[in-house]
Structure 1
Amino acid sequence: MTTSTTPEPSATTPLLDLQALVVAVRRRRRLWCAMALLGLLAGAAVAVLMPPPPTAVTEVLVAHKEDQPNDTGTLIRTDVEVLGTTRIAEKALRSLNSSEDPEDFLRDYRGAGVTNNLLKITVAGGSDAEAVARARALADAFIADHVQRMRATANAEAKALLDQRDRMKDELAQVNKDIGGRSPETETDPQESAGIESLFARRAELSTRIADFNQRAEEARVGTPQVVAGTQIVDAPRPVKHSLPKAAATDAAIGLVLGLVLGLALAAVGVVVADRPVLRRDIAANLGASVIAELPRRPGRRRQRRRTRLARERLTAHLARTVRGSTEPVSLLELGCAHGTSVIALDLARAMAAEGAVTVIDGLPGPQLAGRRPKPGDPAVVGAERAAAVPPQERRLGVGSVAPGTAWTDLRYLGTQTVLVVRAGHGSAAWLHTVARQLADQHIAVIGVVLIDPDPRDRTDGTLWDGLHTALRGRSERPAQQPGRRRTERQPMWAARGADNDQEAR
């Protein structure tokens, strides 16, 4: 077996080729476009089929005794959490004469702090009237609970201050009693005089502190009416109007974005997992042969159809020159493009029919060639089982497949030299490597690769510059045969057998 090894490139292969990933994801635009469209329709359907329940909203101004200009919102967040307790829900349901479970009612409303002192309550109900009634009941229940808590706090503070005042009054009475129990004869005693002065000083201090506690208790009581008056409903409960077109547009936009993101993610994961080369650089590297031509899979507009026709004519002319200059039979082997390969084979056979009889050997698994309707002037097409009956003087053009399930040993009967017709993104990198290795084992030289359905933005180089003997341009650069000298048979150059792993390549 004759094999040629391709030296490992100097540049290290990246773990993830972003260019190939972007190109492969773009080729799967049907998937992510379909996902985006599905998300768009799903969002619009949700807005139409599942409209939001009737909702009412109200705003409550909440006054706090501890309000400070630099408050970070701690107090209003506490009020929001208090609103979401079963105690407030139970009071609201009691005022509505409803037997609903408070825990179930908690799921129908929510609170949000607009500012440090403004609380917004949103309530859902069976109708607009019921939602408005629920919102008012919740606001009243919260205000009553808030006022009760503020009053209880103020009363507890005032009681503590008054208790301290009473203790000091008792102590003041004892001091007064001690002062009144002193006899006038003791005033001349220096020690007794100092004791009396300390008692008078203590009485003055206690009197001042008693007055201070009275004032503080009074302030504690006075502050409660300000809190009570400041906590009130500033925006009466009202139903919230829902616009179906606006809701449908919003939900559709959200569904579109989510579907697009999900589609791109699925496409990227599928590309990485499948590992199917799309760029001509990668396909040429895995097959060990240069890309000699490219053809679109489907002709599009009129200008593109003209370009496709010219590209087919140039490819046919190149292949015809190659077949004429070859002393060995040439075959076309397809991977993912049986119809395109059959068209190329028929065009090539028609171009060579003017120089002599040409027989196309059909080795394709499908009816692309055998089931067609022959036209006047078309070459003869025979099956692979009748290839031995073809006269030796006729040119043979084999057409086969290298798809999974191929009988590799039968490919040599189609031709010892071949042109691979490969659809971009069809075969995985492992399978392209398998094709190159099997063709090398069967001593089938690969002339070049015709790439079907390439990416139009692909700017990579599909030529193996270290293996020009396998490219079509390299085969055409041969010395002219001298007159009178018999042309010797050219030894075939076999397809490069790729390395199974990095260690073997090194």
Structure 2
Amino acid sequence: MTMKPETSQPQHLLDFTRLWTAIRRGRRLWVAFALLGFLGGGVLTVLVPPAPTAVVQILVVHEEDSPADGGSLIRTDVSLLMTSRIAGLAAKRLKIDEQPEDFLKDYEGVAVTNSILQITVKAPSGAEAARRAKGLAEAFIADHVGRVQAGATAEAKAYTDQQAQVQKDLDGVNAQISGAEAAQNNRNNNDDDEDNADAPQPNAANLDTLYARRAELSNQITQLTQQAQQAGLGAPRVAAGTQIVDEPRPVRVSLKTTGATNGGIGLVLGLVVGVAIAAVGGVVRDKPVLRRDIAENLGASVIAELPRRQRRFLPGKKLTQTRKRVAATLVRLAKDGSAPVSVLELGAAPLATALASDIAAELAAEKPVALVADLEITNPPTETAHPVRVIGGDDTSAPQSGEARIGVGSVAPGTAWTDLPHLGSETVLVVKAGYANTAWLHTVGRQLADAGIPIVGVVLADPDRRDKSDGTLWDGLHTALRGRQKHKSANNGHTTNGTNVHDLPTKRFAPVRPAEKKG
């Protein structure tokens, strides 16, 4: 039976967990954009105040109005109002020197109900806006009534033309009836005349058909005459009912209300833009934030976390207490090995120096300590049982007898990698979450491996509060903390800082299934 190593899970094209984390950690960005949009809306209101406006309402009567209309007729009126023809008529009525296309930009119509049309007009002043609103309303009413009258006139003309055609047909039928009656009278007067015995005789049935046809045509003429008279009257209900029901009046615009509205719009737009930039930036920059991503890229487990910032106002003791607790853990870690341990930072120099100072202070309770600092130590430990000697990273002197050695440095871009072994044979990385991209984390892990400096663990600075991922590197037993007490060196039984260089990383295998019986 063969055992196949477990394949890693495929990486998704878009990890929503990382995307959501990038958005949350970029809250300063999108809050700043939202605030900028809000302030921009308020400033825009002050610099570009709203123009004076006037409002007028018109009652529009329609011939085809019905309860089942649904508002289509009034929407048609709104569309007609927003045409250059209506704007041109209103401009001529108002005698303003303005193109219809330009005048269209200064007003708008809204359907309040199925019969009420509201027009809002902008102008340089409130009085001018009211005058333009009245002229525009009158132009729309004249156009609406004129279109209805034109339709009525066309309908009356159609009825009149049809009446003339029917009258022409009636005249022909009357002529046929007159000829038939004259022929019948001649036949009655000449019954004894032998010469007319062979002449064709009029048919009584044909006369009856002509009489019925004449009566039908006469009835049609009467109906068409009535319809033409009614259509000629036009639509008096439309002409009389379509009118201005609310006289034009200037509208008082509150600068505060307008500013709040513009500020709200700017707030929403800024928030959307900020969130979008934060999301895109989090995906494009590819800077790991989650514990599992940082552990995988560095090849070392996350053993502790430290908040990066401390409150400037009313500072608390939580950061100091957490740092001292982590320092105590690292002190026990340093005591387990025989080689010096260094603290290297990546984006968290203040925390790394403070943590190194705390470790030195803890170790100074038992023996002297040499703090090799490639970074500036702002608060070196002073009140300790044994002295703490701070030396520079360029000091090449040998350590004193019985003196513990703690190094502090950086693995930021520009680091002299060959000088890192001088700080310590093992290292604890203090990494700020979201500071370095994936490529640089790989570079740090590779350079430390080439320098023969095992990464004992990672202290994560400024971690994500909602990060629930596992920062333990389960397949790294040769550098994991739980393996430091197990592995012994073949050289006189001494440990090499807890690291067995001959112990390769373990691999996970898929479970072996029992073979199925055949037959």
TM-score of the superposed pair, with normalisation by structure 1:
0.87
Provide the secondary structure at the position in 1 that maps to 2:232: helix
> 1:24 Cα shift?
2.9
Deviations for 1:321-354, whole angstroms, at most 9, x for unmatched residues?
A: 2222212222111100112111111221222234
CA distance in 2 between counterparts of 1:186 and 1:149 reads 61
Larger Rg: 2
CA distance in 2 between counterparts of 1:494 and 1:76 reads 86
Letter in 2 for 1:319: L
State the match for 1:132 in structure 2. 130
Structure 1 vs Structure 2: percent identity of aligned residues?
52
CA distance in 2 between counterparts of 1:118 and 1:436 reads 75
State the match for 1:492 in structure 2. 499
Letter in 1 for 2:452: H
State the match for 2:111 in structure 1. 113
State the match for 1:158 in structure 2. 156
Provide the secondary structure at the position in 2 that maps to 1:470: coil
Give the 3 Å change call, closer, same or farther, for CA 302–215 of structure 1 in structure 2: closer
Query: Where does structure 1 lack aligned partners over 5 or more consecutive residues?
Result: 1-6, 499-506
Root mean square deviation, CA, Å: 3.0
> 1:87 Cα shift?
2.8
State the match for 1:242 in structure 2. 253
Letter in 1 for 2:82: G
**Which of 424, 435, 456 in structure 2 is aligned with 1:415?**
424
Provide the secondary structure at the position in 1 that maps to 2:253: coil
State the match for 1:457 in structure 2. 466
CA distance in 2 between counterparts of 1:494 and 1:247 reads 72
State the match for 1:503 in structure 2. none
> 1:251 Cα shift?
1.9
Give runs of aligned pairs for residues 104-503 of structure 1, distance below 5 A.
Answer: 104-182=102-180, 183=183, 184-185=185-186, 192-300=203-311, 305-364=316-375, 368-369=376-377, 375=382, 379-391=388-400, 394-475=403-484, 477-478=485-486, 487-490=493-496, 492-493=499-500
Contact 1:288 1:495 in 2 (8 A): no
State the match for 2:194 in structure 1. none
Letter in 2 for 1:410: D
Select between 64-73 and 231-240 the one with higher mean Cα deviation. Answer: 64-73
Contact 2:382 2:388 in 1 (8 A): no
> 1:94 Cα shift?
2.3
Contact 2:45 2:255 in 1 (8 A): yes
The answer to whether 1:43 aligns with 2:41 is yes
> 1:79 Cα shift?
1.9
> 1:73 Cα shift?
3.0
Contact 2:347 2:435 in 1 (8 A): yes
CA distance in 1 between counterparts of 2:474 and 2:71 reads 70
Deviations for 1:100-152, whole angstroms, at most 9, x for unmatched residues?
A: 22222111111222233222111111111111111111111111111111111
Provide the secondary structure at the position in 1 that maps to 2:203: helix
Task: Give the length in aligned residue pairs.
Answer: 484
Contact 2:478 2:504 in 1 (8 A): no
Contact 1:440 1:494 in 2 (8 A): no
State the match for 1:501 in structure 2. none
> 1:376 Cα shift?
6.3
The answer to whether 1:28 aligns with 2:39 is no
Give the 3 Å change call, closer, same or farther, for CA 159–137 of structure 1 in structure 2: same
Contact 2:488 2:500 in 1 (8 A): no
Q: More helix by proportion, 1 or 2? A: 1
Contact 1:362 1:398 in 2 (8 A): yes
CA distance in 1 between counterparts of 2:92 and 2:311 reads 72
Letter in 2 for 1:243: S
Select between 32-41 and 19-28 the one with higher mean Cα deviation. Answer: 19-28
Letter in 2 for 1:239: P
State the match for 1:3 in structure 2. none
Contact 1:59 1:235 in 2 (8 A): yes
Provide the secondary structure at the position in 1 that maps to 2:235: helix
Select between 314-323 and 153-162 the one with higher mean Cα deviation. Answer: 314-323
TM-score of the superposed pair, with normalisation by structure 2:
0.85
> 1:263 Cα shift?
1.2
State the match for 2:511 in structure 1. none
Provide the secondary structure at the position in 1 that maps to 2:304: strand
Letter in 1 for 2:133: A
Select between 441-450 and 114-123 the one with higher mean Cα deviation. Answer: 114-123
CA distance in 2 between counterparts of 1:495 and 1:308 reads 39
